[in-house]
Amino acid sequence: MTAPLPALPAKIHPLVRAFLDSRDAVEDTVVRFGSPVHLVFPQVYAENLTRFRAVLDLQVSHYRICYAHKVNQSRAFVRTAEHAGVAIDVASPQELGSAIGAGFDATRIEVTGPKGEAFLRQLIDRGVTINVDNLWELGRIAELAGDRTKVPVLLRVSGFDAASASRFGVPLAHLDRAFDLLSASRSRIAFLGFAFHIDSGEPAERIRAIDACLALVEQAYDHGLTPSVLNIGGGFRQVFTADADRFDGYVLALREALLGRGAQMSWGNNTFGYHVDGGAVHGIPVFHKYANTVPATTMLADLLAAPLERHGGRTVAQVAGDNMLELWLEPGKALVDHAGVTVAKVEFVKELADGTVVVNLDISRDLVTPADQEVMVDPIVLSGNGHRPDAHVGHATVTPLRPVGDTATTPPPMPESGPVAVYFAGRLCLERDLITNHKVWLPQRPQPGDLVVFPNTGAYHMDLSAATASMHPVPTKLAVTHHAGSFQACRDGDYEPPVPVGLPPHPSAARGPHRSPVLRQVSHADNDGAP
């Protein structure tokens, strides 16, 4: 029995899979709007949000979901969030304008990240909640607020692990200065509570941060402050792989190749962060998160159910409820997980002197992945059997490529049937513009005009670094929906959620912050049946 070829199969949402299987819908979309194109699926986003809410509803009395806008610039996603009644987390004047334009009012907007003085003035005038990054921000807010309505503020905290520095947040060691500023500014600042953000899949790190923030709540009361919000941030992981065993098998083959055993698996002997020493492969690869198999909802449920030793083993959710703390979250990746793909077109296929096959696309690497990462899922090739090669796409006419020159000088054609190992390359005149630095095995060699789908690009991949080198335009972004048995695509900015809305506004979204009593310790004796 022949062993399967190395592969990194991507997890695909059923709705997205149905769209890709509907060849007419895919081809019509490319013909109408051109290639390359980013596709977002608001219905998948809404489904992710429903699942997140279901987990919270089971364990938490008071909570607020703030969609992290920075994950994707899509207006369709922002409109879906607004229509569903959740809040939004923005990190720039442009994102603030996007949120307001999509219908969010000040009570449902939180602003995170570093902020300059001009932005702070705008935020104070708007009356939105400011998640303060540093003591300078806090001091300027107190000075700029004047005698107007109190400015709602959260204090972002960092430094839970002394060995791991962060450039964001107020270090724990500086909290006394923050308390002094907040106490002196109670007539101008409405202090809501504490916030943190840990971009890690390790539950222990988040639990440690939560416990530290609960201790800060106690300290805040000693300074005459009454915090009522605990914001546990985002960073909830995505699941990229559809087959964890095959992913592990691919990585094993890659590691073996780095040791000189077996066929080469990477372009230019790229090690992806590994290093070889003493006849062994060491280090953590840059693609480690693609091995995750724990859904964001499971990660959230486990976090809420985690026992806190300092509180007699009561869970995070129980301690928050005991003290009427409203839990805020800032999910981004988790809400757009599998709600976006990018489609590009094969322009030509070439073979290098050593036999390496390179598939050139009409898109660049920076448009489908953050520059420092390798996307360890295989693109999906939609063969062009049904393509209309002479159809007008945008302002260009796509025609099939034909051999040029006489038979004496034309190189022999590459085989068009049977499995082939390829690298996908971008359209820029840069050696580094390799979309895949890892080898991809395909059932057959792609042809000019074939469409290549990059799965799950909705989180950061589409917008984090949009390459416009060589004056290439940024790909169009479209919203794709499914109604009455068919798919429709429209420009992202034109999308409006359907009426009646599938997700009614949630009661927790409209609640304001709650005033907490002093955080009480729960003894082991209180564990059984204590309210």
**The three-state (H, E, C) secondary structure of 231-280, written as one string:** ECCCCCCCCCECCHHHHHHHHHHHHHHHCCCCCCCEHHHCCCCCEEECCE
Which domains are seen in the chain, by residue range?
Answer: 14-41+339-494 (2.40.37.10), 42-238+294-336+504-526 (3.20.20.10)
In this prediction, residue 431 carries a pLDDT of 87
DSSP class per residue in 378-390? --EEE-GGG--TT
Residue 310, amino acid: R
pLDDT tens figures, 469-484: 677 788 899 999 999 8
Q: At what angle do helices 75-84 and 93-101 cross, to 10 degrees?
A: 60
In this prediction, residue 502 carries a pLDDT of 44
Q: At what angle do helices 135-145 and 175-184 cross, to 10 degrees?
A: 0
Output the tens digit of pLDDT for each of the chain's 531 residues. Answer: 566 789 999 999 999 999 999 989 999 999 999 999 999 999 999 999 999 999 999 999 999 999 999 999 999 999 999 999 999 999 999 999 999 999 999 999 999 999 999 999 999 999 999 999 999 999 999 999 987 789 999 999 999 887 677 889 999 999 999 999 999 999 999 999 999 998 777 889 999 999 999 999 999 999 999 999 999 999 999 999 999 999 999 999 999 999 999 888 999 889 999 999 999 999 999 998 899 999 999 999 999 999 999 999 999 999 999 999 999 999 999 999 999 999 999 999 999 999 999 999 999 998 888 767 899 999 999 987 544 333 333 333 333 333 333 444 444 555 566 899 999 999 988 888 899 999 999 999 999 999 999 999 999 988 876 666 677 788 899 999 999 899 999 999 999 998 654 444 444 444 444 444 444 443 333 333 333
- As a whole number of angstroms, the distance between CA 81 and CA 246 comes to 35
Backbone dihedral region for residue 193 (phi beyond 0: left; psi -120 to 50: alpha; all else: beta): left
Cα–Cα distances in Å, from 84 out to 80, 103, 111, 492? 6, 11, 20, 18
Does residue 344 sit in helix, strand or coil? strand
Give pTM, 2 decimals. Answer: 0.88
β partners of residue 170: 157
Cα torsion through 234, 239, 245, 248, rounded to 10: -50
Neighbouring residues of 237: CB distance < 8 A, sequence distance ≥ 6: 201, 289, 292, 294, 296, 299, 333, 334
Residue in the block written with tokens 């000040």:
106
DSSP class per residue in 438-485? B-EEESS---TT-EEEE-S-TTTTTTTT---GGGPPPPEEEEEEEETT
